[in-house]
Amino acid sequence: MSHGQACARCLYTERHPLGLTIDEEGICSGCRIHEEKDQLDWNGRWRRLEALVAPYRVPDGSVYDCIVPVSGANDSHFIVHLVKERLGLNPLLVSYNKYFNTPLGIRNLANLRIRFNCDLLLQNVNPASAKKITRATLRQFGSMYWHCLAGQTVFPVQTAVRYRIPLIIWGAHQGLEQVGMFSHEHEVEMTRRYRRDHDLMGHEADDLLSIFDTLAESDVWQYRYPDDDVLNSVGVRGIYLGNFVRWDPRRQHEQMIDTHGYQGARFDRTFDTYDHVDCWNFMGIHDHLKLVKHGYSKVTDHCCREIRHGRLTRDQALRLVAEHTRAEPPYVDLFCEWLGVDRRALQFIVDCHRNPEFWTETEPGRWAPRATMTAPGSERARPEDDPGFRATSTLEFDSGRRYVTVGKGYPL
d(CA 393, CA 264) in angstroms, rounded, equals 6
5: Cα within 13 Å, side-chain hemisphere: 14
The yes or no reply on residue 28 touching Zn ion (CB under 5 A) is yes
The residue type found at 170 is W
The yes or no reply on residue 84 touching Zn ion (CB under 5 A) is no
Query: Nearer Cβ to Zn ion, position 15 or 139?
Result: 15
Mark the segment that binds Zn ion (CB under 5 A) among 3-11, 217-225, 235-243, 396-404.
Answer: 3-11
Q: Across the chain, how many H-helices and E-strands are there?
A: 17, 7
Q: How many residues interact with Zn ion (rule CB under 5 A)?
A: 5
Instruction: Tell me which of 7, 67, 303, 317 binds Zn ion, using CB under 5 A.
Output: 7
Instruction: Tell me which of 9, 84, 184, 302 binds Zn ion, using CB under 5 A.
Output: 9
Mark the segment that binds Zn ion (CB under 5 A) among 31-39, 178-186, 341-349, 388-396.
Answer: 31-39
| Chain length of the chain | 412
Name the nearest CA neighbour of 275 among 33, 30, 71, 112: 71
The yes or no reply on residue 10 touching Zn ion (CB under 5 A) is yes
Three-state DSSP state, 107: helix
Query: Nearer Cβ to Zn ion, position 7 or 130?
Result: 7
The CA-atom distances, in angstroms, between 259 and each of 83, 186, 255 are: 16, 32, 6
Q: How far is the CB of 19 from Zn ion (least distance, A)?
A: 13
Q: How far is the CB of 6 from Zn ion (least distance, A)?
A: 8
Instruction: Tell me which of 6, 31, 110, 125 binds Zn ion, using CB under 5 A.
Output: 31
Question: Is residue 127 a contact partner of residue 100, using CB atoms and an 8 Å limit?
Answer: no
Name the nearest CA neighbour of 132 among 23, 250, 222: 222
Query: Nearer Cβ to Zn ion, position 16 or 135?
Result: 16
Query: Nearer Cβ to Zn ion, position 295 or 330?
Result: 295
The yes or no reply on residue 318 touching Zn ion (CB under 5 A) is no
Mark the segment that binds Zn ion (CB under 5 A) among 26-34, 137-145, 153-161, 234-242.
Answer: 26-34
Question: Is residue 225 a contact partner of residue 204, using CB atoms and an 8 Å limit?
Answer: yes
The residue type found at 72 is G
Which residues here bind Zn ion, judged by CB under 5 A?
A: 7, 9-10, 28, 31
